[in-house]
């Protein structure tokens, strides 16, 4: 049994001290994943890897549901928390672009890259929700690859599937998401 699994079991049984021990073990890995994800974001992104990890961690530990059975469930929950944080950030930017802020800004002053990045992330989130309704396992691969920054080998290990299956799921999911996003843009 790995340290992670042991700490997850202790946390599930109510040992709040296990959360601190778990964070010590996974922090550097989570920060590396967050940094990899944020490196793909537009320059000037307001979220930093440390902030993303801390926000995700606070959501995970603050959540009443701490019954992660294994490393797979835990990192899946981390990926989901990071995804939600990034989507919320994109929605906030979109609201600001569409008049949600208190200060009037001319359209020419809005950075087109930032607006495009926010809308792309929202479109991805909608397409991912559609994929999850039809095939949750392929959606999990996307969350772990895109939002948690895991390699296909890490995804396979986390989801307890073969690397070939992870690769097929990833290829299918990318094609599905691309098609859904393109369809949304055409509408």
- Domains of the chain: which residue ranges? 3-186
Q: What is the pLDDT of residue 41?
A: 66
Residue recorded with tokens 């340290």: 3
Cβ proximity of 34 and 52 under 8 Å: yes
The number of helix segments (H) and strand segments (E) in the chain equals 8, 0
CA distances from 20 to 120, 144, 172 (A): 35, 23, 38
Copy the structure tokens of residue 40: 């793909």
Cβ proximity of 170 and 83 under 8 Å: no
- Residue 64 CA to residue 150 CA, distance in Å, equals 26
Q: Between vectors from CA 146 to CA 37 and to CA 175, what angle results, nearest 5°?
A: 145
Digit-by-digit pLDDT tens for the chain (187 residues) are 467 888 888 877 778 788 888 888 888 888 887 877 777 666 656 677 888 888 888 888 776 556 677 777 788 888 888 888 888 877 777 665 555 444 544 434 444 444 445 567 788 888 999 999 999 999 999 988 887 778 899 889 888 999 999 999 999 999 998 888 888 777 6
Q: What is the pLDDT of residue 130?
A: 93
Q: What is the pLDDT of residue 64?
A: 59
pTM equals 0.55
CA distances from 49 to 45, 56, 114 (A): 11, 11, 18
């Amino acid at each position: 049994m790995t340290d992670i699994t042991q700490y997850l079991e202790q946390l599930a049984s109510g040992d709040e001290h296990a959360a601190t021990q778990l964070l010590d073990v996974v922090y550097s890995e989570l920060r590396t994943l967050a940094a990899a994800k944020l490196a793909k974001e537009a320059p000037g992104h307001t979220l930093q890897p440390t902030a993303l990890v801390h926000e995700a961690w606070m959501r995970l530990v603050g959540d009443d549901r701490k019954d992660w059975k294994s490393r797979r469930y835990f990192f899946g929950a981390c990926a989901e928390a990071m995804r939600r944080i990034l989507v919320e950030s994109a929605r906030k930017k979109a609201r600001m672009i569409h008049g949600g802020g208190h200060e009037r800004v001319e359209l020419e002053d809005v950075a087109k890259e930032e607006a495009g990045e926010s809308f792309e992330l929202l479109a991805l989130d909608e397409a991912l929700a559609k994929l999850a309704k039809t095939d949750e396992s392929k959606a999990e691969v996307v969350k772990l690859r895109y939002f948690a920054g895991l390699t296909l080998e890490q995804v396979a290990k986390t989801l307890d599937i073969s690397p070939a299956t992870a690769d097929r799921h990833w290829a299918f999911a990318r094609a599905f998401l691309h098609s859904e996003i393109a369809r949304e843009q055409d509408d």
